[in-house]
């Protein structure tokens, strides 16, 4: 029996029954713009370089401005600022290294970061990045090496990539030197206000502005394997400005604040120091007993840079008729010895206003006193290293004021560590008639106190 032929296996159309079209897929609304998607898949070398404009201020502050899209919101007054640190706050390295290897070695610190920034923009916030970038050099001289240029290019590349993914108007301020722009000092913030025309008091809403950064002075936990923060500069920076501070964990993840500590709190230092306040509201040193007990002598200062030696001379010793010998001015010890000898021969007592940290240096002056047959006395300044660093920065960044009548530059860290490595406490048996210890005391009016009690280190 032969099989029955079934004919071709295909649908036969009929006139009395229509054919339904396939169901249409429902299109979901995306929160990511097509431009952002295109930018994400565009190689870094082909990104829209004109979107970010850069300029340099005083060869140390790098400022980047992203061109605002048409949807940018304009706020005439009371502008709210949402400020963020960059590394370990908005982004982190994709490789897991502490620092990214190149411009492509980055990822968002948390997946919620871009969405949060877009929401802030919709709420009318000005979004800015304020970052210390000490590894970058902006000096265009012969000392600039290829590694400096690469770090600068890598930083700009990361900022560009972040900007392109966000597709928002942002400002970027990067402090590259140890100067007035470096956090916790407020130079970057002041430049931001100038750049966005927000210098008048009514043009910015400080109460609703904030700063987010990872350097919050948190103690960490050995048991949980959580490292402590490398510093407290971000928290101190926000305090100097007078805005709210949060860590990335607090802001993006809604975690509870963790305990923190400051290495040096200038306001607390003044508050707890004895004999500082007076009924008139002044802040001054405890009374100093007159050091003028010899008709003619040499007074040798001993103390770290920034310990208050020069200020002590001008306020307490110079009125007694002492001449000053200072190696910062005369440049060499030999010139200092020669100058001191001339003053003594003229019948004028001398103060040696140098650090005089070690036995060998002090022995030169003791030998001179013996040669000139005059007593030599020592004034030992006991300020802590943190106080000295604080004082050094205050005087260097406030040149020409009552607080610093002499022009000074900020000293490198080695100036303080070098003193500590050489320091040996002076002893009477070295040949001193007596040794007077002087603790640091802030001296100044309320306006000067406001400057001194900011966070500078």
For 376-403, write each residue's pLDDT tens digit.
Answer: 999 999 999 999 999 999 999 987 555 6
In the predicted structure, residue 13 carries a pLDDT above the cut 60: no
- The model's confidence at residue 149, banded by pLDDT at 50, 70 and 90, is confident
C-beta of residue 368 within 8 angstroms of C-beta of residue 299: no
CATH topology of domain 34-253: Rossmann fold (3.40.50)
Lowest mean pLDDT among 103-117, 185-199, 286-300: 286-300
Range among 57-61, 199-203, 439-443 rated most confident: 57-61
Q: Would you state the pLDDT for residue 72?
A: 41
Tokens standing for residue 237: 């920076």
Lowest mean pLDDT among 14-18, 148-152, 180-184, 230-234: 14-18
CA distances, 25 to each of 29, 31, 37, 77 (Å): 13, 19, 22, 47
- The model's confidence at residue 48, banded by pLDDT at 50, 70 and 90, is very low
Those residues with Cβ within 8 angstroms of residue 205's Cβ, 6 or more apart along the chain or in another chain: 78, 79, 80, 81
Write the pLDDT tens digit of every residue in 221-260.
888 788 999 999 999 999 999 999 999 999 999 999 999 9
In degrees, rounded to 5, the angle at the alpha carbon of residue 101 between the alpha carbons of residues 95 and 102 is: 115
What percent of the chain is modeled with pLDDT above 90? 67
* Average pLDDT, integer, range 407-427: 92
Instruction: Parse the chain into domains and list their residue ranges.
Output: 34-253, 298-452
In the predicted structure, residue 170 carries a pLDDT above the cut 80: yes
In the predicted structure, residue 286 carries a pLDDT above the cut 80: no
CATH architecture of 298-452: 3-Layer(aba) Sandwich (3.40)
In the predicted structure, residue 31 carries a pLDDT above the cut 70: no
* Average pLDDT, integer, range 283-292: 50
In the predicted structure, residue 282 carries a pLDDT above the cut 90: no
Tell whether the torsion through CA atoms of 109, 114, 119 and 120 is positive or negative.
positive
Write the pLDDT tens digit of every residue in 358-378.
999 999 999 999 999 999 999
Write the pLDDT tens digit of every residue in 339-358.
999 999 999 999 999 999 99
- The model's confidence at residue 289, banded by pLDDT at 50, 70 and 90, is low
Write the pLDDT tens digit of every residue in 105-145.
999 999 999 999 999 999 999 999 999 999 898 877 646 67
Residue with tokens 């303080």: 416
Q: What is the rounded average pLDDT for all residues in the chain? A: 84
User: What does residue 118 show for φ and ψ, rounded to 5 degrees?
Assistant: -65, -40
CA distances, 255 to each of 246, 249, 299 (Å): 10, 6, 57
What is the Cα–Cα distance from 185 to 191, expressed in whole angstroms?
12
Lowest mean pLDDT among 48-52, 147-151, 360-364, 435-439: 48-52
C-beta of residue 248 within 8 angstroms of C-beta of residue 214: yes
* Average pLDDT, integer, range 435-453: 90
Local structure of 92: helix, strand or coil: strand
Q: Would you state the pLDDT for residue 27?
A: 44
Instruction: Name the pairing type of β-strands 52-57 and 61-66.
Output: antiparallel
Same fold, 34-253 and 298-452: yes
Lowest mean pLDDT among 65-74, 266-275, 437-446: 65-74
Range among 31-35, 287-291, 365-369 rated most confident: 365-369
Which of residues 432 and 138 earns the better pLDDT score?
A: 432
* Average pLDDT, integer, range 217-221: 91
Is the bond into 184 cis (omega within 30 degrees of 0)? yes
Q: Would you state the pLDDT for residue 408?
A: 78
Q: In what order do the strands lie in the sheet with 244-246?
A: 52-57, 61-66, 170-175, 126-132, 81-84, 210-212, 244-246
Q: Would you state the pLDDT for residue 405?
A: 62
């Amino acid at each position: 029996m032969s099989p029955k032929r079934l004919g071709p296996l295909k649908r036969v159309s009929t006139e009395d029954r229509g054919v339904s079209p396939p169901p249409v897929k429902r299109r979901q609304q995306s929160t990511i713009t097509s431009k952002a998607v295109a930018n994400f898949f565009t190689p870094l070398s082909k990104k829209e370089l004109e979107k970010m404009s850069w300029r340099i201020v005083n060869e140390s502050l790098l400022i980047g401005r992203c061109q605002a899209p048409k949807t940018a919101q304009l706020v005439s007054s009371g502008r709210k600022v949402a400020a963020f640190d960059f590394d370990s706050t908005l982004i982190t390295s994709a490789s897991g290294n502490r620092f990214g290897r190149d411009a492509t070695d980055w990822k968002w610190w948390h997946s919620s970061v871009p969405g949060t920034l877009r929401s802030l923009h919709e709420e009318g916030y000005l979004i800015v990045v304020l970052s210390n970038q000490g590894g970058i050099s902006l000096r265009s001289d012969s000392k600039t090496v290829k590694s400096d240029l690469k770090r600068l290019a890598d930083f700009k590349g990361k900022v560009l990539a972040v900007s392109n993914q966000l597709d928002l108007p942002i400002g970027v301020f990067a402090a590259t030197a140890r100067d007035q722009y470096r956090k916790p000092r407020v130079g970057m913030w002041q430049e931001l206000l100038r750049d966005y025309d927000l210098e008048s008091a009514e043009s910015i809403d400080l109460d609703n502005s904030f700063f987010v950064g990872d350097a919050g002075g948190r103690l960490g936990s050995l048991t949980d394997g959580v490292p402590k923060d490398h510093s407290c500069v971000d928290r101190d920076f926000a305090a100097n400005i007078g805005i709210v501070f949060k860590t990335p964990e607090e802001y993006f993840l809604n975690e509870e604040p963790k305990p923190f500590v400051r290495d040096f709190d200038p306001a607390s230092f003044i508050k707890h120091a004895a004999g500082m306040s007076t009924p008139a509201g002044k802040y001054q040193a405890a009374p100093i007993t007159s050091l003028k007990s010899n008709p003619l002598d040499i007074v040798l200062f001993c103390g770290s840079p920034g310990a208050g030696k020069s200020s002590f001379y001008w306020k307490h010793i110079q009125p007694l008729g002492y001449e000053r010998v200072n190696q910062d001015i005369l440049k060499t010890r030999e010139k200092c010895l020669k100058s001191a000898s001339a003053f003594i021969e003229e019948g004028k007592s001398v103060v040696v206003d140098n650090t005089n940290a070690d036995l060998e240096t002090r022995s030169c002056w003791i030998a001179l006193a013996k040669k000139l047959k005059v007593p030599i006395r020592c004034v030992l300044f006991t300020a802590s290293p943190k106080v000295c660093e604080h004082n050094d920065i205050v005087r260097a960044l406030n040149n020409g004021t009552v607080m610093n009548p002499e022009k000074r530059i900020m000293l490198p860290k080695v100036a303080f560590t070098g003193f500590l490595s050489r320091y040996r406490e002076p002893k009477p048996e070295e040949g001193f008639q007596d040794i007077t210890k002087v603790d640091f005391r802030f001296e100044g009016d309320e306006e000067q106190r406001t400057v001194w009690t900011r966070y500078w280190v």
